[in-house]
Structure 1
């Protein structure tokens, strides 16, 4: 625990200040638009923590954001920019739907984990395609992952339309009950909020991320390749294999995000006219979390709370929900430009330095 605290102790002031500055920018924009920022933020807080149902739904909103944030952060730590979390999310979602509908006769203790595992693996394999082209052909992973996002969307729609479609509807059949990861007793406790085991899986995924990258030999290799592939190759590491492996693990996180959404929230898959956006939101979560797994947990909590609470701002203060995106964008801007934040904090640092001298 002390080591975890030590990791954040040197850098937590900057992101926290960036969050405060982002909220202040949002408040200023609300004032310019004729809205009351204090009422808006109060309404947001009430929407998130006002009752047990909203609290449960907030955690439901946070869960996939954490997993897609981990996907982006893991790739970044390995020197890669996985902008394809959206496609990996869709593939994981579709694979879990297929298993949840087509495989029959299994008990819940086998069926639900199987659907989760298949969703995660398929998301990983989808990301590994970009990893292969990067490792073997030198193709920039940003380009391939963006292209694979749209390929995933059309492939998912094809699978739903031709193999899973509910007659007369633009969606799949319902998943079998044995494939559900919903937690019924917890949902009832929280006013029938859509609670599921995916929230625990997201936390365990963050712990796995930390242990793998910082406590294992394999993690050292992945980070070494990310920091300097030429030095890693000179040291005898297989750079190409590690790139593919990094993308596979990254994609597994995003695939799991899609799987838990289907198995725990919707229980069917619709024919989509566009991408859900959760994979792209994961990029913002990773940036807010400074690409650290436990930072991503906090970033996901912040992003998910702001997203879910935006409805409260709209109803309680008349603020358009789009304004919350400006707040989130402002936070990301200040986190991405730490020089501005440090300039704001400069008087504080100078005062602390003077006190130490005295």
Structure 2
């Protein structure tokens, strides 16, 4: 079996194993697994409202997954997507609140502000990695907390008068659409899905169809060989983190301009940036794989909310299933070993 086929099979097997083990856990703990999964499906796709909410959840997952995957493709582990998402969210809302402009100018400006904020936040670990060899994982983890507390301070002191949330963004900066709301029974689905699809195409085009993308991947595979070939390794490391930060900032814009329409003080992280790591891992860091993984994760997250209501099954069990899926993907060596043994038996 070819490596490409194995790369396709491993995430599928990981999902199946996660669901099987999750099912066993439901049965062992005394819950009706079949009723639980039916409730999960109904909660994600049972009617047009739930479908709209599922799409709404998928949008930031796609962009967060792209952010993680782009950095990983170039040999970097951007665990700071959460922080870059938060500053992107704040920047988008700030522009959405502070200006009064026609929609054709205001909305793109707010989206670009989020992308720029994410890029600047990601530039810091990229620069430190390239210039001083400081490990990006350490810096990005610290910057997550820095982003959380700085944005909370700005919301309380600059975007509101001591309250825990900003004013709503202007309608001209909103991604929400009366058309989409009416089609999905007034769900929070918004036009961010178009931006997410465009971002998927852009990532694929950069990495597969441009010289710069080839250089970025080459640096990720072997920095010494890339340097010997005349590539500017430091520049490519910084550029990789900046582009990753752009995707993360856009994920924040989807929340600020689409789902919520304001910025609020956060008692903790949103979790979307960290879930992006799992999305990228399950999607094998490929654009199409990330879309499929985001659809799965978004469906599980939204559908889980219906499980206690319809089947009496705690929605925390879905988090366990997601964790199991990630575990089995991370343990892909064992799955590869199993596939090889099956192949050898087939040959004999």
Give your verdict on TM over 0.5.
yes
Q: What is the number of equivalent residue pairs in this alignment?
A: 347
| Selected match of 2:294 from 270, 291, 300 | 300
- In structure 1, what is the equivalent of residue 43 of structure 2? 47
The alpha carbon displacement at 1:258 in A equals 0.3
Whether the aligned pair in 2 keeps the contact of 1:120 and 1:254 (CA below 8 Å) is yes
State how 1:94-243 maps to structure 2 within 5 Å: 94-104=90-100, 106-165=101-160, 167=161, 169-243=163-237
- In structure 2, what is the equivalent of residue 278 of structure 1? 272
- In structure 1, what is the equivalent of residue 20 of structure 2? 24
| Selected match of 2:66 from 63, 67, 70 | 70
Aligned partners of 2:174, 2:335: CA distance in 1, in Å? Answer: 45
The alpha carbon displacement at 1:340 in A equals 2.5
Q: 1:236 to 1:44 in 2, by over 3 A?
A: same
Aligned partners of 1:197, 1:350: CA distance in 2, in Å? Answer: 49
Instruction: Extract structure 1 runs of 4+ deviating beyond 6 A.
Output: none
TM-score (norm 2): 0.96
Q: 1:346 to 1:137 in 2, by over 3 A?
A: closer
- In structure 2, what is the equivalent of residue 3 of structure 1? none
Aligned partners of 1:168, 1:212: CA distance in 2, in Å? Answer: 44
Whether the aligned pair in 2 keeps the contact of 1:67 and 1:254 (CA below 8 Å) is yes
Q: Unpaired runs of 5+ in structure 2?
A: none
- In structure 2, what is the equivalent of residue 36 of structure 1? 32
SS at match of 2:75: coil
Aligned partners of 2:149, 2:208: CA distance in 1, in Å? Answer: 37
The alpha carbon displacement at 1:44 in A equals 0.4
Whether the aligned pair in 2 keeps the contact of 1:78 and 1:225 (CA below 8 Å) is yes
Q: 1:206 to 1:353 in 2, by over 3 A?
A: farther
The alpha carbon displacement at 1:339 in A equals 2.9
Q: What RMSD over aligned residues (CA atoms) do the two structures have, in Å?
A: 1.6
SS at match of 1:93: helix
| Selected match of 2:310 from 284, 305, 316 | 316
TM-score (norm 1): 0.93
Aligned partners of 1:112, 1:212: CA distance in 2, in Å? Answer: 25
The alpha carbon displacement at 1:341 in A equals 2.2
Aligned partners of 1:8, 1:170: CA distance in 2, in Å? Answer: 49
Q: Which segment drifts farther, 183-192 or 53-62?
A: 183-192
Aligned partners of 1:177, 1:32: CA distance in 2, in Å? Answer: 50
Q: Unpaired runs of 5+ in structure 1?
A: 1-5
Whether the aligned pair in 2 keeps the contact of 1:184 and 1:195 (CA below 8 Å) is no
Q: Which segment drifts farther, 69-78 or 310-319?
A: 310-319
Whether the aligned pair in 2 keeps the contact of 1:58 and 1:308 (CA below 8 Å) is yes
Aligned partners of 1:255, 1:7: CA distance in 2, in Å? Answer: 34
- Give deviations 1:304-352, integer Å, cap 9, x for gaps: 1111111122222222111111101111111111233245545753565
Q: 1:328 to 1:352 in 2, by over 3 A?
A: same
